[in-house]
Structure 1
Amino acid sequence: MATQLKNLCEYSSGNIPDISDKKFAVVVSEWNEDVTEALYEGAISTLLKHGAKKENIFRKDVPGSFELSLGAQWTAEIEEIDAVICLGCVIQGETKHFDFICDAVAHGITNVSLKYNKPVIFGVLTPNTQQQALDRAGGKHGNKGDEAAITAIKMLGF
C-alpha cells in the first residue's frame, strides 16, 4: 500500500503560492467525528502554517460523507471562496454501502470542482478499519488533512 511508504504530512515545499489573501471553505463530515476532527485540525494547521489568515477559513459541517458534495457546492457557489477542502471518512463495512458512498462522493466532489472551476479537494479517508483511519488522521501515517490542505494551496498556484 502506498501510504505505508509515505507519511501524509510529508510533501514538497516547492511551488507554494502566497495564500495570505485567499479564502478557504472546509466542509467536514460529522460521521466518524473522532477521525474527521483530527483531519480538520491537520488541514487548519497546514493552512495557517503556509500563510492563510484564520478569518479567511470557514468551516461548514455536514452530517456524513455523502453530503460533502452538496456542502462543497454550496460553498463553491460563494464567489469569494478560492478553494474548498472536503474532509470525511467512510470505513468499509459488511455491505456494498461503502462502495456506493465512496463512488458518489468522489464523483460529486470532482463535479463541483469542474462546475465552479476552483479547487475542491477530496480529503476523504476510505479505510478498511477504524485503526487504519486513525493511522491516517494524525497517527503513524500522518494526517490526510495536511495533505488535503497543501493540495488546495498548490492548486491555487497553478
Structure 2
Amino acid sequence: MATQLKNLSDFSDSEIPSAAPFRFGIVVSEWNREITNALYGGAYQSLIDHGAIPDQIFTYSVPGSFELTAGADMLLKNLKLDAVICLGCVIQGETKHFDFICQAVANGISNVSIKYSKPVIFGVLTTDNQQQAADRAGGKHGNKGDEAAVTAIKMADLAETLNN
C-alpha cells in the first residue's frame, strides 16, 4: 500500500505557492465527525500556514460525504472562490453502500470541478476501518486534510497562472 510508505503531510520535496491571493471554500461531512473534524483542522491550518487569510476561508458542513458534491456546487454557485476542498470519511461496512457512496462522491466532485472550471478537491477518506481513517486524519500517516489544502493551493495557483 502506497500510504504505508508516505506521510500525507510531508511536502518537504514540494514547492507550495502562497495561498494569500486566494479564496477557499471547505465543505465538511458531519458523518464520522471525529475523523472529519481532524481532516478539517489539518486543512484549515495548512491553508493558514501557507498564507491564506482567515476571512477568505468559508467553511460549511453537510450531513454526509454524499452531500459534499451538492455542497461544493452551492458554494461555487453563490461565492466567488478559487478552490473548494471537500472533506469526508466513508468507512467500509457490511453492505455495498460503501461502494456506491465512494463512486458517487468521486464522480460528483469531478463533475462540479468541470462544471465551474474550478479546483474541487477530493479530501475524502475511503477506508476499511476506523483505525485506517484515524491513521490518515492526523495519525501515523499524517493528515489527508493537509494534502487536500496543499492541492487546493497548487491548483488555484495553476488556474491563476493559466488565466493570466
Q: Name the residue aligned to 2:44.
A: 44
Secondary structure, aligned partner of 1:25: strand
d(CA) in 1 for partners of 2:34, 2:9: 19
Unaligned runs of 5+ in 1: none
Secondary structure, aligned partner of 1:60: strand
Q: Name the residue aligned to 2:162.
A: none
- State the TM-score, normalizing by the size of structure 1: 0.97
Q: Name the residue aligned to 1:62.
A: 62
Point out the more displaced range, 78-87 or 23-32.
78-87
d(CA) in 2 for partners of 1:118, 1:64: 22
Q: Name the residue aligned to 1:21.
A: 21
Q: Name the residue aligned to 2:130.
A: 130
Shift of 1:80: 1.4
Unaligned runs of 5+ in 2: 159-164
- The list of structure 1 runs, each at least 4 consecutive aligned residues, that deviate by more than 3 angstroms after superposition, is none
d(CA) in 2 for partners of 1:70, 1:101: 14
- State the TM-score, normalizing by the size of structure 2: 0.93
Secondary structure, aligned partner of 1:80: coil
Shift of 1:18: 3.0
Shift of 1:19: 2.2
Q: Name the residue aligned to 1:99.
A: 99
d(CA) in 2 for partners of 1:131, 1:19: 32
Shift of 1:79: 4.9
Total equivalences in the alignment: 157
Secondary structure, aligned partner of 2:134: helix
**CA pair 137-24 structure 1, distance change in 2 beyond 3 A:** same
What percent of counterpart residues are identical? 66
d(CA) in 1 for partners of 2:109, 2:30: 17
- Preserved contact between residue 17 and residue 156 of structure 1 (Cα < 8 Å): no
CA deviation vs aligned residue, 1:89-123 (integer Å, no higher than 9, x gap): 00000000000000000000000000000100000
Q: Name the residue aligned to 2:75.
A: 75
Shift of 1:67: 0.3
